[in-house]
Structure 1
Amino acid sequence: MLAALYVSGPACATDEAPPAAVQIEPHIALLLPLKSPVFGRAAGIVQQGFMAAANNQPLPLPIIAYATDSESQEVAALYPKAIANGAVAVAGPLTRDGVAALAAATEISVPTLALNVGEMRGLDQLYFFGLSAEAEARQVAQLAAAAGLRGATLVSTGTPLSARLSQAFAAEWKTLGGDVLKELTYGNNPEVLADLPDSPGNMVFLAADAAKARMIHPYIDIAIPVYAISQLFNGNTDTLTNYDLNNTRFVDMPWLLQPEHPAVMVYPRPEQSLEPDMERLYALGIDAFRLLQIMLNNTYRTELPLDGVTGQISLNSNHQFLRKAIPAQIRQGRGQPLDTRQLAVPPNDRSLTPVPPLPGGEGYGKSLREINAIP
């Protein structure tokens, strides 16, 4: 699939990993489901972002892609093959099932960055990084609590991902001392949205994508603050949808919210126009390359937290790279970053330190949802 020339040239593409007859050379391996009919396009976009970052900051190593069809069935055999071919670091797999298979069946012998998160703990050289929808839901709960809200109504749409988002928000919300007042499932019947608690200090968490959110939002009293995650935001080119979601607060990445920030502009945009969920995966590839450099150089203490194009990235004790997205609000048809320094933080909760925007700043489409939805 992909390979990068040595430091003397930019990255280039090939169709397959090197055959066994080729002389073994040290390289960085990309394990992605590029042959998958479901995840192939998403994997290709992650690959493009990874290579864009590599071309921007080239390493003296080639980058070789190892393509799979079903990660859960193939990755346990493909990982040691990459190591035998000379891989000194690995990025991937991409799906949750693939990550679980890698962690359960394979000895992790080189720095390895799995591009998804799950319930497993990291091993000595296995780290995790991904666009976790549940992490965004927890961050939204923190932001709402920091704004002084204490009662929440959860509105889901009946999908497995929507249910998981509601559960993640509710768990964090209760930990922070908030009350869950109602849990509603919207199934195209607006009557379930009648009599939403609208007393001061109450809010709605909307676990819905943009299409469903547009149907739900008009039935929510304008006086009730509405919060959501990034799947609600289709980018600032979709002004019609954004006007229908006016005043909704959400979180998303600098790649979409601050495209003109110098720390974002340094990386090239995709040559083809992409929908927002694919832009997010492209940004994931960029930050994955940057994190793998930190792992290779063992510079965790000096380079973390990292101001990534996906958000501010830190590392916890479970070998998970945690991403804090930018708080934003839809105003006049545009998603605009909020200055979180103006939010009050409950004095007894040290976990609610507001996340500032990138220095100098103004304060999910199908494939991405499917990647997040894998059990």
Structure 2
Amino acid sequence: MRSSGLRQLYPLIILTLLGLLHACTPSAPVIPKAAVGNNLPLDAIPIETEAQAARPTWNFGQHPSGRRAPFKQHTAQHQTRTQAARLPRPTKRTQTPANSTSSIPRLTPAVPSKTVVKPSIELGNQLLAQGKKQAAADVYYRSAFSYASPQRERIILQAAELAASLGENHLTNSYLQRIPPASLQGENFARYQYIQALLALQNKQANQALGLLPRGLAPLSPGLRDKVLLVRNRAIQLGGTAIPNYSGQQQYTSSAYPSAPLAAIQTPPMAATTIALPQASDKMAVLLTQSGPLAAVSAEIYQGIQEVQASQGGHTKLYSVSANNALQQYQQAVADGANIVVGPLDKEALAVLLRNPQALSVPILTLNYNTEVASPPTLFQFGLSPEDEAQQIAELTTARGQRQAIVMVPDSAWGKRLADSFIRVYQSHGGQVISLVNYPNRDAGTYLQHVQTALANGRGANMVFLGASPTQARLLRPLLQAQAGMLPVYATSHIFSGRSEPNKDVDLDGTIYTEIPLVLEGIKNGSLNLLKFPRLYAMGADAAMIAAQLPALAQRQQLRGKTGDIRLGPNHSIQRRLNLATFINGVPTPLE
């Protein structure tokens, strides 16, 4: 009986002893999964004070249940991670879902987090010399943010070039996204173009690579020039069509391909200006052709210049120029006291000035573009570039998710320029051109056949980019409507004549296109038809405004002009962003 009673008390005795043992033992902290090992997110590590740095500290993680739980973190490792958390850290790409909306990949550090390493140019050069390109790229990138422009962009471009040479295209693009292309000038912009061309070449896009490469090689450093020519030659070997008038034809070996180490930068120096700005613009000389086919165009441009310059209290003097006397007339204008020169419009005259940069002592705003040669510090380029509009349409449509395109342009040099600009930007933004048709400039009887061909080859397209004159657009747009129904059609301002003619333009209804502010305002207030060539008048008016506002543009300010929103781009070129419009009952109507 007694032993049976004791057996019944055993469970109670055991529980009592366990309770006493638990009460005498210190409780262990509950460590969250996120705090185990090295997996704690960097943004969860608190910043230590100097007083805390001398001893191990207790910090808090987050328990899955929602409770705050302490964990022990040693100071040296903590400081290392805290410093690393302050730096942008792009490195190797990890796998992400195919439908991920993130534009920058998830990145992991190339330098171990247990070692305190201050990113520097010297360290990047050492890693590059050891053949550790991935680690060198990471260090270059992280060190870039200690420097001011343009050194910062140059160092990021070095990181991007290394990533591209490793075939890390996604990582290369993540680096390049940190650089606004419009902020680049000179060799930095040429290096940016080279890297974009290298990516295109790796994707077997030979013609795209050739189109992206910088054209003027003379201003480039020997190392970059060699690499540009190497990519060009490889693109031609892949079947790309060589660009005419491209300087430099020799072959180069692959020894020119890897990036050279960057020169160490001891302190972040101030960027030396490459822009010579006018001190005043009250005495304006205008260089324009006054005879031949450009005479009427010049007269309309000059009217716009005169009216704006007079409204600002300035004076203008007109000089008649051609390719034969462009430099002499410029020098005469300077001798006459001009403090700013506008013109010429003629491309041959512009080429003459570019061949004599040392003679351009007074700032000059030309009225055309030449992309073959780097602009000297005193020369700026402005015009009604169709490329600006094509690129704007490409950016707009890809942003809207319309990434399967049919392109229809006339079989002409102008049509090729338009198509090349659209396709280059469209593809760089993730778009795909699935049908490209060059229709004849004059034989309208074949337009139906060309529309049918474009649509047959472009099954699955969700947009059409149309390059056309007003007459061509009035014929092609109804054919597209009849054959393709609701397929959106986008175009540049060239589809509208600049004169309000609703009866003729009703066939353009629904077309989305780029248009300058002056035209849309003129339609609204009924003054459009008072101008013979409204876009040329607007160009002249904006030329006078730009000449007076070059200092503001040089400070990256954007101006609102009659031809669009204006900013200073690479190579001292003036870039425009136009309004969007559509046709309703034959009348251009703003969309914004």
- TM-score, normalisation: structure 1: 0.74
Aligned partner of 1:118 in structure 2 is 370
Relative to structure 1, the CA distance from residue 252 to residue 279 in structure 2 (aligned partners, 3 Å threshold; closer, same or farther) is same
| Per-residue deviation, 1:237 | 1.3
* Kept after mapping to 2: 8 A contact 1:236/1:335: no
Find 1:32's aligned residue among 288, 293, 296.
288
**Mapping for residues 47-126 of structure 1, pairs under 5 Å:** 47-59=302-314, 62-68=315-321, 71-106=322-357, 107-119=359-371, 120-126=373-379
- 1:206 is aligned with what amino acid? L
Q: Which residue pairs with 2:451 in the alignment?
A: 193
Counterpart CA distance in 2 for 1:185 and 1:293 is: 41
Secondary structure of the residue that 2:435 maps to in structure 1? strand
Q: CA RMSD in A?
A: 2.2
Structure 1 distance, partners of 2:496, 2:523, is: 18
Aligned to 2:301: 46
Equivalent in the alignment of 2:231: none
Are the structure 2 counterparts of residues 193 and 305 from structure 1 closer, same or farther at C-alpha, using a change threshold of 3 Å? same
- State the alpha-carbon separation in 2 of the partners of residues 299 and 129 from structure 1: 16
Determine if the alignment matches structure 1 residue 182 to structure 2 residue 435: yes
Counterpart residue type for residue 250 of structure 1: Y
User: Residues 298-357 of structure 1, C-alpha deviation per residue, up to 9 Å, x if partnerless?
Assistant: 33367820010110001124211111111111122111111xxxxxxxxxxxxxxxxxxx
Partner of 2:405: 152
Q: Is the CA contact (8 Å cut-off) linking 1:294 and 1:303 kept in structure 2? A: no
Match of 2:164 in 1: none
| 1:210 and 1:241 in contact (8 A); partners too | no
Out of 273, 282, 288, the position equivalent to 2:530 is 273
Matches within 5 A, 1:1-375: 27-35=283-291, 37-59=292-314, 62-68=315-321, 71-106=322-357, 107-119=359-371, 120-187=373-440, 188=444, 189=446, 190-194=448-452, 196=455, 202-220=462-480, 221-235=484-498, 237-259=500-522, 273-275=530-532, 278-295=533-550, 298-300=551-553, 304-338=557-591, 363=592
After superposition, what is the alpha-carbon deviation per residue over 1:257-308, rounded to whole angstroms, capped at 9, x for unaligned? 12388xxx9xxx79x9334xx210100111111111113xx33367820010
Aligned CA distance change for structure 1 residues 47 and 236 (closer, same or farther; 3 Å): closer
CA distance in 2, matches of 1:76, 1:202: 50
Deviations 1:52-100 (A, max 9, x none): 11222213xx3110012xx322212211121122211100011222222
Cα 1:65–1:236 change in 2 (3 A) is: closer
Once the two structures are TM-superposed, the CA of residue 200 in structure 1 deviates from its matched residue by: 6.4
| Alignment CA distance shift 1:40-1:302 (3 Å) | same
1: CA distance between counterparts of 2:584 and 2:530? Answer: 24
Q: Are the equivalent residues in 2 in contact too, given 1:27–1:86 (CA < 8 A)?
A: yes
- Structure 2 distance, partners of 1:97, 1:250, is 31
Q: Greater helix percent: which structure?
A: 2
- Equivalence for 1:14: none
Matched letter for residue 43 of structure 1:
S
- In the alignment of these two chains, the number of paired residues is 298
CA distance in 1, matches of 2:346, 2:467: 22
Percent of paired sites with the same residue: 30
* 1:150 shift after superposition: 0.5
Deviates more, 1:192-201 or 1:162-171: 192-201
The 1-side partners of 2:541 and 2:556 are apart by 16
- Separation in structure 2 between the aligned mates of residue 231 and residue 215 of structure 1, nearest angstrom: 14
Q: Which runs of 5+ in 2 are unaligned?
A: 1-281
SS in structure 2 opposite 1:58? coil
Say if 1:236 and 1:333, in contact at 8 Å, map to a contact too.
no
Return the alpha-carbon distance in structure 1 between the equivalents of residues 403 and 552 of structure 2.
40
| Residues in 2 aligned to 1:259 and 1:318: alpha-carbon distance in whole angstroms | 33
User: CA 1:96/1:311 → structure 2, altered by over 3 Å: closer, same or farther?
Assistant: same
* 1:39 aligned counterpart, secondary structure: helix
The CA distance in 1 between the partners of 2:515 and 2:346, in whole Å, is 21
Taking the aligned partners of 1:88 and 1:235, their CA distance within structure 2 comes to: 34
Deviation at 1:116, TM superposition (A): 1.2
- In terms of mean alpha carbon deviation, does 197-206 or 249-258 score higher? 197-206
Matched to 2:466, the amino acid is L
Contact 2:556 2:568 in 1 (8 A): no
- 1:118 Cα deviation from its structure 2 partner: 2.1
CA distance in structure 2 between the partners assigned to 1:57 and 1:316 by the alignment = 25
- The SS at the match of 2:519 is helix
- Contact in 1 for aligned 2:498/2:534 (Cα 8 Å): no
What TM-score, normalized by structure 2, do the two folds share? 0.48
In 2, distance between residues paired with 1:328 and 1:103? 37
For 1:260 and 1:244, the matched residues in 2 are separated by 18
CA contact (8 A) 1:148 1:201 kept: no
Measured in 1, the distance between the counterparts of 2:288 and 2:405 equals: 39
SS class of match (1:257): helix
Residue 145 of structure 1 deviates from its aligned partner by 1.2
Q: 1:304 to 1:34 in 2, by over 3 A?
A: farther
State whether residues 500 and 523 of structure 2, in contact with CA within 8 Å, keep that contact through their aligned partners in structure 1.
no
Gaps of 5+ in 1: 1-25, 339-362, 364-375
Distance in 1 separating the partners of 2:318 and 2:476: 42
For 2:294 and 2:404, locate their aligned partners in 1 and report how far apart those are by CA, in whole Å.
38
Give the drift of 1:171: 1.2
Q: Deviations over 1:16-57 (max 9, x none)?
A: xxxxxxxxxx8310001122x110010011000001112222
Tell me the secondary structure at the aligned position of residue 293 of structure 2. Answer: coil
